[in-house]
Structure 1
Amino acid sequence: MRVYSGIQPTGRKHLGNYLGAIRHYVTGQEQAWATGDEAIFCVVDLHATTVAYDPAELRDRTYDTVAILLAAGLDPAKSILYRQGDVPEVPELTWLLTSVTAHGDLNRMHQFKEKSAQQRELVSAGLFLYPVLMAADVLAFRADRVPVGDDQRQHIELMRDIAERFNTRFGGEGREILRVPEGVYPTVAARIMDLQQPEKKMSTSSGSIEGTVYVLDEPKAVEKKLKRAVTDSANPPEIRRGPDKAGVSNLIDILAATTDRTPDEVEADLAGARGYGDLKVAAADAVNALLAPIRERYADLRGDEAAIESALAIGAEKARAIAAPVLAEAREAMGVGPRA
């Protein structure tokens, strides 16, 4: 069994990134290590070039992201952690996969529609082909399972279609050149919302600074943001979840996810609370307790970029050892290049 996950290096990593993805990476790594399976994690710097960006900032954010992943518990001795741009087999496979990817499918991708609408000067071909590169990321490693956010379901379905179409066209009967992966979607802490706009998902790019808790925020900043979180004007205050209580529901979900409890347990524990202030203080304390050791380890790791590069080089070597034979088989099946 092989599990694959990728993370964007753009933007500052926030609480939603940690609870919805990074924490699950570490859990998945430990499970894979215990069972003899394989976990692969990629910082997708090539994906980040599909929209306008600053090259120096991209490299810095990549180092930031790797340092956070290591600080959170990813261990290059237990899993494969690499930078996308260090594995040239993936972009070559991307080009080969375009031969079995329908233009209409790409044109219907929600992410392309949303991001292209934001581009004023240039909508790049890279943005259009983003889902094919994402497919190549996974298919190059013959991954079995791909943990992603719920908003990535459309990409996973396209990835599966591409693999099946490739196998049908070039593999012949019964030959699986590219493994058809399964998407794995989180059921807990899948959506942490903006503290100031609780109807919107917490986001570095489209959220509010005051409503976004960053992994590297100082404890006082975390406390301030959570104490100012939007709730409602119910009198007396009601600490419960519900469609009419978006802000309170978000705080309950955050407290539950950061203390390994269910939202129902949080509601029961706070049944005698004096008001929303108790909920906010409890959430701030729990978030700070969760993030404090990560911030501390990050501070030790981030200053040594040579060590980060060394870890990425080791990961790239392992990644290429897996991807190269897959690419070679795909090339042979398509009649590209010399005979194997």
Structure 2
Amino acid sequence: MATFEPRVFSGIQPSGNLHLGNYLGAITKFVDLQSSYNCVFCVVDQHAITVWQDPEGLVRRTREVTAGFLASGIDPEKHIVFNQSQVAAHAQLAWVFNCVARMGWLNRMTQFKDKAGKNRENVSTGLFVYPNLMSADILIYKATHVPVGEDQKQHLELARDTAQKFNIDYAERIAALGYGVENIGRDVTTDPEQIFFPQPEPLIGGPAPRVMSLRDGSKKMSSSDASDKARINMTDDEDTIALKIRKAKTDPQALPSEVDGLEGRAEASNLVGIYAALSGASKEDVLGEYGGLEFSKFKPALIELSVSKLSPITGEMRRLMDDASYIDGVLAKGAERAEAIANPILDQVKDIVGFIRRK
């Protein structure tokens, strides 16, 4: 009985500086997943250009994200690391999905509403349809699992809906060509007996799924924040890390002894969460050690921990980024391996929808 091979797909946009939120919210999770899954890790540079990017900056940031992957412990020999634009199958499947997904689905995407704001009529069409490209990123590898943050769950739901609609729309063709996998546990009133695309499952988590700004605990840490002091960049040196943590916004109260005491104290909760994530402890453990202390006592401990954990990664990133040819070689080799998976799947999609292809 045929089944889908367990496979993880995930990616990071090179649209800004790689920062602590990327590391704790995503990359550490990627590193852990290597022991349990075959993994495909992508620098999603095509997603990045949904808003204007300086071309030279995009090249640099694509290499920086790749260096961050490698320096953090992702193995490009055992798993696949590449940049999205080198594998044309992503964009080709995205066009098919543009014709499968419904406008109503995209209109409900809250991230588009947030990013477009009042400028909805002036943003790129790519920003509107990029969730379909995200669906293609995942499904061109028939990925079964996707590590996502809370703000990406809606896009994964779209990928699942798109996979299901494709499977239903082309059910007879999938079966006739022998491209399907038996749909175990299907709803026989709506689902075909055989399916082509799996419905990928979310892997929620990471040591700190949502790292917040050092200047405003109500906002997610972001490379687009106007203030560089709002984030710790993965390329920051020890002195810069220390300065940013010392200047991080807090409140006048001492740290509580219980997690419940962090309620309504966004900045305090964020710093405790960062310490917990970097140390591998729980917030309860951190407050058990530092509860009752002022931030003037806690911040030096957080600085020491942050520097000890991040400095080796920063040093390795800088070493790697000084060797652009090596990084480009990793990406090129990864793209070849990605194509070996993606291109046969795309060929089958073309057969299913009725495209004549070269053979």
Normalised by the length of structure 1, the TM-score is 0.93
Instruction: Determine if contact 1:332/1:339 at 8 Å carries over to the other structure.
Output: no
1:134-171 deviation line (CA, Å, top 9, x unaligned) = 00000000001000111001101010000000001113
1:271-323 CA-to-partner distances (Å, cap 9, x unmatched) read 364x2112111111111111011011112110111111111111001100101
Deviates more, 1:330-339 or 1:78-87: 330-339
| 1:243 Cα offset (Å) | 2.0
Amino acid paired to 2:72: A
Unmatched 5+ stretches in structure 2: 1-5, 173-191
**Paired residue secondary structure (2:229):** coil
Q: Given the alignment, which residue of 30, 33, 46 partners 1:28? A: 33
Which structure 1 residue ranges, 4+ long, deviate > 3 Å from structure 2?
118-122, 236-241
Q: 2:281 aligns with which of 255, 261, 264?
A: 261
- Of 9-18 and 117-126, more deviation after overlay is shown by 117-126
CA distance in 1, matches of 2:225, 2:108: 22
**Amino acid across the alignment from 1:14:** H
Residues 255 and 268, structure 2, Cα contact 8 Å, conserved in 1: no
How far apart, CA to CA, are the structure 1 residues paired with 2:207 and 2:114? 26
1:1-340 equivalent positions in 2, closer than 5 A:
1-29=6-34, 31-32=35-36, 37-117=37-117, 122-172=122-172, 173-186=192-205, 188-206=207-225, 208-234=227-253, 238=256, 241=259, 242-271=262-291, 273=293, 275-338=294-357
Q: Cα RMSD over matched residues?
A: 1.8
Note closer, same or farther for the CA distance 1:120–1:331 as it changes in structure 2 (3 Å cut): closer
Which residue in the other structure is 2:181 paired with?
Answer: none
CA separation of 1:119 and 1:327: change in aligned 2, threshold 3 A: same
Asked if the contact 1:202/1:211 (under 8 Å) is kept, the reply is yes
Mark the CA change 1:240 to 1:230 in structure 2 (over 3 Å): closer, same or farther.
farther
Specify every segment of 5 or more residues in structure 1 that has no aligned partner in the other structure, as ranges: none
The DSSP-based 3-state class of the residue aligned with 1:100 is coil
- Measured against aligned partners, the alpha-carbon deviations of 1:182-211 in whole angstroms (never above 9, x if no partner) come to 111116411111112112111111363222
CA apart distance, 1:338: 4.3
SS of residue matched to 1:210: helix
Contact 1:194–1:208 (Cα < 8 Å) also in 2: no
Per the alignment, in what secondary structure is the counterpart of residue 230 of structure 2? coil
Structure 2 distance, partners of 1:52, 1:338, is: 34
The secondary structure found in structure 2 opposite 1:195 is: coil
Number of aligned pairs?
Answer: 333
Task: Supply the distance in 2 between the matched residues of 1:150 and 1:49 (Cα, whole angstroms).
Answer: 23
Whether the 8 Å contact between 1:82 and 1:313 is mirrored in structure 2 is yes
**CA distance in 1 between partners of 2:105 and 2:241 (Å):** 42
Letter in 2 for 1:20: G
| Equivalent pair of 1:240/1:249 in contact (CA under 8 Å) | no
Q: What is the letter of the counterpart of residue 91 of structure 1?
A: A
Quote the offset at 1:247 in angstroms.
1.6
Q: 1:218 to 1:119 in 2, by over 3 A?
A: farther
CA contact (8 A) 2:255 2:290 kept: no
TM-score (norm: length of structure 2): 0.88
Q: CA deviation at 1:332?
A: 0.7
Using the alignment, how far apart are the partners of 1:53 and 1:190 within structure 2? 26
Contact 1:200 1:207 (C-alpha < 8 Å) held by counterparts: no
Contact 1:171 1:333 in 2 (8 A): no
C-alpha distance in 1, partners of 2:49/2:264?
Answer: 40
Q: Distance in 1 between matches of 2:229 and 2:40?
A: 34
CA contact (8 A) 2:235 2:318 kept: no
The alignment-based identity, stated in percent, is: 40
Alpha-carbon distance between aligned partners in 1 of 2:265 and 2:93, rounded to the nearest angstrom: 47
Superposed CA deviations along residues 217-246 of structure 1, whole A, max 9, x for unmatched, are 111111111112222123x66465422222
Tell whether the 8 Å contact from 1:239 to 1:248 is kept in structure 2 after alignment.
Answer: no
